[in-house]
Amino acid sequence: MSLLEVHNVTKDFGGLRANSDISFSMEKGELVGLIGPNGAGKTTLFNCISGLHRVTSGRIVFEGEDITDLKAYQVARRGLARTFQVYAASGDLNVAENVMVGCFMRTRSRSAAKKRADEILSFLKLQDVSDYLVSELPVAAQKRVTMATALGSDPRILLLDEVAAGLNPSEIEEILASIKHIHDDLGITVMLIEHVMELVMKISDRVIVLDSGRKIAEGHPGQIAKDPAVIKAYLGERYVEQME
């Protein structure tokens, strides 16, 4: 049994079809990249998996349970967490308190939530900024805070939505190290949406490609980089030349 199974998921918004008959599965311990051009339906798919959107048709199964019709908080309680492209941190809470919000998914004790938040911040090397407001931090640190908040819910799958967006090369390397740290040392299964191809191809066990709401390819990063449909839809010949 796969950890996550997405069966023929379709999502319509009125007359617009954002996802069309998408199917894939994820095994425990995998790190999977989800790529495609803007408007391909990547974030919509994350929203469907995490319970923010109700699918038009299809099924989503997590650890053998059909979670298709569950609400977002119910999905999160079962162990599936996600980040967002824009981190909506509370302006009057500091970094540690924002991470504690995620921890309250598993405990009602403030002291237990604080202890767990401190552990996560130390794990992601954010302990020195725990008393700062998130808005006071550089963008790269804010990205790591949103990952820390998601980790507070103790997920078995973590969906990361463009955590490297807007970062410079050295900051991207830091984010890459954090993702590998989460995956390798905590044993969390990870799926990430990303436009930074160097990151996706370097870190992913497998890559899924969407275009115009449909899955057009799936495979090892090396296979995906040479797939004619993917090159035409997204990567372009220049990227392939750089890879060679």
Condensed to tens digits (0 to 9), the pLDDT of residues 30-46 reads 999 999 999 999 999 99
Q: pTM of the prediction? A: 0.91
Rounded Cα gap, residues 107 and 13, in angstroms? 36
Q: CA separation (Å) from 76 to 55, 135, 199?
A: 17, 25, 26
Q: What digits encode the pLDDT tens for the residues 8-27?
A: 999 999 999 999 999 999 99
What integer pLDDT is reported at residue 54 of this predicted model?
96
Q: How confident is the model at residue 229 (pLDDT cuts 50, 70, 90)?
A: confident
CB count in 10 Å sphere of residue 85? 13
Paired with 93 in beta bridges are none
* 119 pLDDT above the threshold of 90: yes
Average pLDDT over residues 124-131: 96
Residues of the chain with CATH 3.40.50.300: 4-79+155-243
Please state which CATH class domain 4-79+155-243 belongs to. alpha beta
Q: 163 exposed, middle or buried (CB, 10 Å; 0-12, 13-18, 19+)?
A: buried
Q: Is residue 194 within 8 Å of residue 164, measured between CB atoms? A: yes
